[in-house]
Amino acid sequence: MFYREVAHRTECLQMSVSRMAVARWCDSPEHREALWQICRDTAAFMVPPAEDGEPAWRKALWARLQETSPDALRQLLALSGGAVLRNQLARGEVYAGAVLHSLLKSWLSQYGRGKERMRQAAQGVTSVRGYGGGTG
Protein backbone atom coordinates (compact mmCIF):
# COMPACT_ATOMS: atom_id res chain seq x y z
CA MET A 1 0.00 0.00 0.00
CA PHE A 2 2.80 2.46 0.92
CA TYR A 3 4.69 2.01 -2.34
CA ARG A 4 1.51 2.18 -4.41
CA GLU A 5 0.58 5.48 -2.76
CA VAL A 6 4.10 6.85 -3.28
CA ALA A 7 3.96 5.89 -6.97
CA HIS A 8 0.55 7.53 -7.37
CA ARG A 9 1.62 10.76 -5.66
CA THR A 10 4.85 10.87 -7.65
CA GLU A 11 2.98 10.36 -10.91
CA CYS A 12 0.55 13.17 -10.05
CA LEU A 13 3.43 15.48 -9.16
CA GLN A 14 5.29 14.60 -12.38
CA MET A 15 2.36 15.98 -14.38
CA SER A 16 3.02 19.49 -13.07
CA VAL A 17 6.78 19.41 -13.62
CA SER A 18 8.35 21.31 -16.49
CA ARG A 19 10.45 18.60 -18.10
CA MET A 20 12.38 21.17 -20.12
CA ALA A 21 13.34 23.06 -16.96
CA VAL A 22 14.52 19.85 -15.30
CA ALA A 23 16.48 18.87 -18.41
CA ARG A 24 18.16 22.30 -18.52
CA TRP A 25 18.99 22.08 -14.81
CA CYS A 26 20.49 18.62 -15.33
CA ASP A 27 22.72 19.87 -18.17
CA SER A 28 25.20 21.03 -15.55
CA PRO A 29 27.59 18.32 -14.27
CA GLU A 30 27.49 19.92 -10.81
CA HIS A 31 23.71 19.78 -10.78
CA ARG A 32 23.70 16.14 -11.90
CA GLU A 33 26.12 15.30 -9.10
CA ALA A 34 23.96 17.15 -6.56
CA LEU A 35 20.88 15.35 -7.88
CA TRP A 36 22.61 12.00 -7.52
CA GLN A 37 23.78 12.77 -3.97
CA ILE A 38 20.40 14.02 -2.81
CA CYS A 39 18.68 11.04 -4.42
CA ARG A 40 21.09 8.74 -2.59
CA ASP A 41 20.52 10.57 0.69
CA THR A 42 16.72 10.48 0.37
CA ALA A 43 16.58 6.70 -0.20
CA ALA A 44 15.96 6.20 3.53
CA PHE A 45 12.57 7.87 3.08
CA MET A 46 11.43 4.77 1.17
CA VAL A 47 11.02 2.85 4.44
CA PRO A 48 7.30 2.15 4.96
CA PRO A 49 5.80 3.54 8.18
CA ALA A 50 5.22 0.14 9.80
CA GLU A 51 8.95 -0.56 9.70
CA ASP A 52 10.40 2.81 10.60
CA GLY A 53 9.86 2.95 14.34
CA GLU A 54 10.05 6.58 15.44
CA PRO A 55 8.71 9.03 12.79
CA ALA A 56 10.93 11.84 14.13
CA TRP A 57 13.82 10.50 12.05
CA ARG A 58 12.06 11.76 8.92
CA LYS A 59 12.15 15.33 10.24
CA ALA A 60 15.77 14.91 11.32
CA LEU A 61 16.78 13.57 7.90
CA TRP A 62 15.01 16.45 6.18
CA ALA A 63 16.80 18.95 8.44
CA ARG A 64 20.16 17.33 7.68
CA LEU A 65 19.49 17.45 3.92
CA GLN A 66 18.67 21.15 4.19
CA GLU A 67 22.01 21.74 5.91
CA THR A 68 24.16 19.67 3.55
CA SER A 69 22.63 20.65 0.18
CA PRO A 70 20.53 23.78 0.70
CA ASP A 71 20.87 25.37 -2.74
CA ALA A 72 20.45 22.24 -4.83
CA LEU A 73 17.59 21.03 -2.64
CA ARG A 74 15.83 24.40 -2.92
CA GLN A 75 16.25 24.34 -6.71
CA LEU A 76 15.02 20.75 -7.03
CA LEU A 77 11.98 21.48 -4.89
CA ALA A 78 11.24 24.54 -7.02
CA LEU A 79 11.39 22.36 -10.13
CA SER A 80 8.97 19.91 -8.50
CA GLY A 81 6.42 22.57 -7.65
CA GLY A 82 7.98 23.28 -4.28
CA ALA A 83 5.91 24.63 -1.43
CA VAL A 84 3.50 21.78 -0.75
CA LEU A 85 6.14 19.05 -0.86
CA ARG A 86 8.63 21.16 1.12
CA ASN A 87 6.03 21.77 3.87
CA GLN A 88 5.13 18.08 4.01
CA LEU A 89 8.81 17.19 4.33
CA ALA A 90 9.29 19.71 7.15
CA ARG A 91 6.37 18.13 9.04
CA GLY A 92 7.82 14.66 8.55
CA GLU A 93 4.83 13.35 6.63
CA VAL A 94 5.24 9.69 5.76
CA TYR A 95 4.86 9.92 1.98
CA ALA A 96 6.64 13.22 1.31
CA GLY A 97 10.23 12.00 1.49
CA ALA A 98 9.45 8.89 -0.51
CA VAL A 99 7.75 11.00 -3.18
CA LEU A 100 10.77 13.30 -3.31
CA HIS A 101 13.12 10.33 -3.63
CA SER A 102 11.00 8.73 -6.36
CA LEU A 103 10.80 11.99 -8.27
CA LEU A 104 14.56 12.58 -8.07
CA LYS A 105 15.27 8.98 -9.05
CA SER A 106 13.08 9.34 -12.14
CA TRP A 107 14.90 12.56 -13.06
CA LEU A 108 18.23 10.81 -12.70
CA SER A 109 17.18 8.07 -15.06
CA GLN A 110 15.69 10.50 -17.59
CA TYR A 111 18.09 13.44 -17.56
CA GLY A 112 21.26 12.45 -15.80
CA ARG A 113 23.63 9.60 -16.01
CA GLY A 114 21.38 8.10 -13.40
CA LYS A 115 21.12 4.56 -14.65
CA GLU A 116 24.85 4.07 -14.49
CA ARG A 117 25.24 5.81 -11.12
CA MET A 118 22.24 4.03 -9.55
CA ARG A 119 23.61 0.69 -10.73
CA GLN A 120 27.00 1.51 -9.21
CA ALA A 121 25.36 2.59 -5.97
CA ALA A 122 23.28 -0.60 -5.85
CA GLN A 123 26.40 -2.70 -6.34
CA GLY A 124 28.11 -0.78 -3.54
CA VAL A 125 25.17 -1.36 -1.21
CA THR A 126 25.06 -5.04 -2.14
CA SER A 127 28.75 -5.50 -1.43
CA VAL A 128 28.44 -3.67 1.91
CA ARG A 129 25.45 -5.80 2.89
CA GLY A 130 27.38 -8.95 2.05
CA TYR A 131 30.10 -7.97 4.49
CA GLY A 132 29.84 -7.85 8.23
CA GLY A 133 28.39 -11.08 9.48
CA GLY A 134 24.75 -11.49 8.67
CA THR A 135 22.61 -14.31 10.02
CA GLY A 136 22.98 -16.34 6.80
Write the CB contacts of 130 (distance below 8 Å, at least 6 apart in sequence).
Answer: none
**43 found inside a domain:** yes
40: closest CA among 65, 63, 77, 76? 65
**Is residue 125 included in any domain, yes or no?**
no
Determine, yes or no, domain membership for 131: no
Give the tens place of pLDDT for each residue, 39-76: 999 999 998 886 656 678 888 999 999 999 999 999 99
Burial zone of 128 (CB within 10 Å; 0-12 exposed, 13-18 middle, 19+ buried): exposed
For residue 34, is it within any domain? yes
Residue 23 · residue 31 · CB < 8 Å: no
Buried b or exposed e, range 38-55, using 16+ CB within 10 angstroms:
bbbbbbebebeeeeeeee
Phi, psi of 106 (to 5 degrees): -65, -35
22 — phi, psi (to 5°)?
-65, -45
Domain carrying residue 87? 2-118
Res. 37 pLDDT band, cuts 50 70 90: very high
Q: Per residue in 91-104, pLDDT tens?
A: 888 899 999 999 99
Number of domains in the chain: 1
Residue 134 falls inside a structural domain: no
d(CA 117, CA 123): 10
In a domain, 73, yes or no: yes
Report if pTM > 0.85: no
